[in-house]
Each structure stands twice: as C-alpha cells, then as structure tokens.
Amino acid sequence: MKNSIEKVAWGSFEGEEAHLWRLVNANGMELDITDFGGRLVRALVPDREGHFDNVTLGWETLDEYVGEHGGTYYGALVGRYGNRIGKGRFTLDGVEHVLELNNEPNGIPCALHGGLRGFSLRMWRCVEEIHTDDMVGIVLEIDSPDGEGGYPGNVTVRATLILDNRNAWHVGWRAETDRATPLSFTDHAYWNLDGIDAGSTVMGHLLYVNADQFTPYGPDMIPTGELRDVAGTPFDFRTTHAVGEHHGDDCAELKYGMGYDINWALRRDAGDELSLAAILTSPATGRQLEVWTTEPGLQIYDGYYLPVRNSGIALETQHFPDSPNKPMFPNTILHPGQVLYSTTEFRFKTV
C-alpha cells in the first residue's frame, strides 16, 4: 500500500478550529496527531501476528482533552521547559525569574512542563505537510511571548512530526529566541504495547535503559545535583527486566514518586547523532519500542497518577530537571542568534 496523509476537522478551542492529521505509512501503521497541544491521539501498531492495536493513551474527542483530562499531558508536545523547576524560580544574568507554580509533589510547589498554559494546552499552527514515497508528516509551529509562564524572551518553536516506512516516528524540534532563556522540550506520549484495550498495566513490560547514572531527588522531586550510579539500585535497567520488578524496593525516590518518575543520565554513543535511550517490550504481543535521541536525559514515568493506574508509561527524552538551577547539569540556556535543535525517534518493531 501507499502511505497517505489526511486532515480532518476536530472541533474548536477558544475560537480556533482544531484539526486531526491521520498519517499512514506503507505498512499500515497509523498516527493521529492534533494541532491542539501537538498531541499524538492514536498510534496503530502491528503485533508479532500482524494485528494492529492502538498503543498510546488518549481520548476520542477534543472536549475530553481540554476538560477534566487536560492535566494528564496525554500525547502532548511539552514546553517551554519539560519536567520540574524547583520552587518555580531561577536566576539568569543576575535577574530572578518567577514561574507559574502548577505542581506540588509531596505538598512542595514547583513549576512543571511550562506552567499553567504550557505548549500542551495551546493551539499550534501547521506550516507544512510532508508527503514523499518514504514518509508522511506535518510541521507544527508555536510562538511563546516574552513573560509567558514567567519565562523571558520571545520564542518561536517548530516541531517536525514524521512517520516513515520503517515504522519510526520522528519528533524534531527547532527553536530561536530574542533573549536568553532556558528551553527543554519533550514528547509526553504514554505507551502500552499490549494495546490500550487489553486492560493490562505496563508493570509486566520489559525495559532496558542505556544509562549508568540517574539524578536522585528528595521529597520535592527536584534533583539534588548529584549523578548517582544505578548499580545496586532499582534504577539499573542495563539488564532488561520488568518495569514493576522493583516497585516494592525500599528506595526513597520510589516512595516520593509512587513508582518510577525520575531522570536517567543517558550514555552517549560517541560520533553518533542519535543514541539509544531505551527499549520497551511487550512479552504478550511482541511489540517493541526503541527510543533514540540527541537529548542527554530520559525521564520515565510509569503512570501511578493516571486515571487508570500504571496503564501507560512515558519515555520523555529531555534535558535534566531543574537545570537552570543546576550549573553542573548540561546547559539549557538558548541565546539570541543561536538555534536549538533536538531529535528523538520512536522505532517500532516486533520480536
């Protein structure tokens, strides 16, 4: 079969018409993406027998995304800053910036995923559709004005979302600013490779993480600045094992996060643009997801607070949480005249 792209109306948000793009590759794999929050709404992926199921959590209608489920970040493009910034504050060039507080892990406020109206709750504009023999996709763009969420600088962001005939989903980021500002984008899809209609959790999924270290935290879930070896901890996934295997271990971070909700410092492959971050496998269906990225970190959240507990797992490629307050972490400050580029690929296979 030939690949295809179809655009359909999908309701409206604050007076703007929303759309859904249906991307289908030559193998029949399908991704549905909306310009509301740049969200991945559905991902139809084959299992080892060739049967297609939806493997990403989402809702059927736009009203569900903007209503009671808006805070779940299902499938969203997240910015300006993915993950948490401690106390919702950072100092840049001698100026303290106060951000919107929208998360309170263990009763301690912080800024999360760009604030009260981050990119996940805004309309993006489609500036290009991509359709070649090998791939289909769209390019979404958004402007973030100076002061939005408390962040400095006028920022323009482009996200290129492509499905190719190798069953890989590409998420590419490009950003520019007119004033120094911290930026760290991520994709917030939740995956369940059993298929979301199977009624199973992700606790039995097998996980490999290409990391020797993680960033420990206290009850506020803000990294201390330390890079700690995974050896001898529940965060050692260098040998593949089930997501839920160590959930009951006596570990402070697992207690604070009610399971896995933590950043790994990824091992980089010298000379390669993309490095392997993680491999997630469903023993039941044979579906396997490889995550490859240019980013230095991977936040894994196993979905304890989802409407159906542990029904999906987020594999969020990113810079480290609270980096604007942690000079020892990889830099997240973009300056005028610079261009931010970031790429992550989600490669689907069967075993």
Q: CA-CA distance, 330 to 33, in Å (whole number)?
A: 31
Give the largest CA-CA distance in the chain.
59
Distance between CA atoms of 172 and 283, rounded to whole angstroms? 30
CA-derived radius of gyration, the chain: 19
Distance CA 149, CA 335 (A): 19
Q: Say whether 188 is catalytic.
A: yes
How far is Cα 80 from Cα 117, in angstroms, rounded to an integer? 10
Please state, in angstroms and as integers, the Cα–Cα distance from residue 228 to each residue in 158, 217, 233, 298, 325, following that order.
34, 10, 10, 15, 18
Please identify which of the residues 188, 253, 295, 345 carries the catalytic annotation. Answer: 188
| Token pair of 42 as six digits | 């559905």
Extract the tokens encoding 341. 């580029």
What are the φ/ψ torsions at residue 219 (nearest 5 degrees)? -65, -20
Whether the bond into 80 is cis, omega within 30 of 0: yes
316 included as an active-site residue: yes
Amino acid at site 93: D
Which one from 148, 253, 295, 316 is the annotated catalytic residue?
316
Q: Catalytic site residues?
A: 188, 316
